[in-house]
Structure 1
Amino acid sequence: MGAEALSSQDVTARLAALPGWTRDGDRIGRIYRLASHLAATALVVHIAQVQEELNHHSDLTLGYNTVALSVHTHSAGGALTGKDFELAERVEALAPAHGAE
């Protein structure tokens, strides 16, 4: 996935395929709820591994039993790109294994 900025229509269409993800200005994000702090911590570590693999990193916040992500592409001037959606899709695929809702 490239770092070319997506149109607003593309962002809207791609968000429709990611339940729970929302757009906030030039970012997309989601908050996951988990059964415990340890489960939330494990999800953070798993997300960090994916981010390293993709060389694309979100703002990632660990709460007591929550994990929040917010992402955009710095190298595209802070625009939303395919990289952001690739990361969101990967996180969305791994989150259920951690019991995330």
Structure 2
Amino acid sequence: MARRLTDEEIERQLGDLSGWTREGDSIHASFEAPDFLAGVALVQEVAAAAEAMDHHPDIDIRWRTVTFTLSTHSEGGLTQLDVELAHQISQEAARRGARSTA
């Protein structure tokens, strides 16, 4: 079971996650893909990574914009799993040519 991060830990780690912001007990980021199919491919890659981690984000896709929201619901807040998955999402978005909308 993952340990819930403190506010200080969250803020420090968000400093390394460009485009990610905190809202309450979750972090989120939106990425604009070059086209719709690239956005769908990003979702597929993130879904595979999330399944491997057994840690699943909320995902919203609107044409070329894909928004990811992360929280560890079982812990009632943010854990290291959220931060790790956010890094993977950012790396995959960059690999697919998707840019942060922040």
Identify the TM-score tier after normalising by the shorter chain.
over 0.9
SS of alignment partner, residue 32 of structure 1? strand
- What's the TM-score, normalizing by structure 1? 0.94
**Unaligned stretches of 5+ residues in structure 2:** none
Determine the structure 1 residue equivalent to 2:7: 8
SS of alignment partner, residue 99 of structure 1? coil
Rounded Cα–Cα distance in structure 1 between residues aligned with 2:98 and 2:14: 19
**Number of equivalent positions:** 99
Determine the structure 1 residue equivalent to 2:66: 67
RMSD, aligned CA: 0.9
Determine the structure 2 residue equivalent to 1:49: 48
Runs of 4 or more off by more than 3 Å in structure 1?
Answer: none
Q: 1:81 aligns with which of 70, 79, 94?
A: 79
State the Cα deviation string for residues 14-54 of structure 1 (Å, max 9, x = none): 00000000001110010000111111011010110000011
- What's the TM-score, normalizing by structure 2? 0.93
**Unaligned stretches of 5+ residues in structure 1:** none
Q: Give me the identity figure in percent.
A: 36
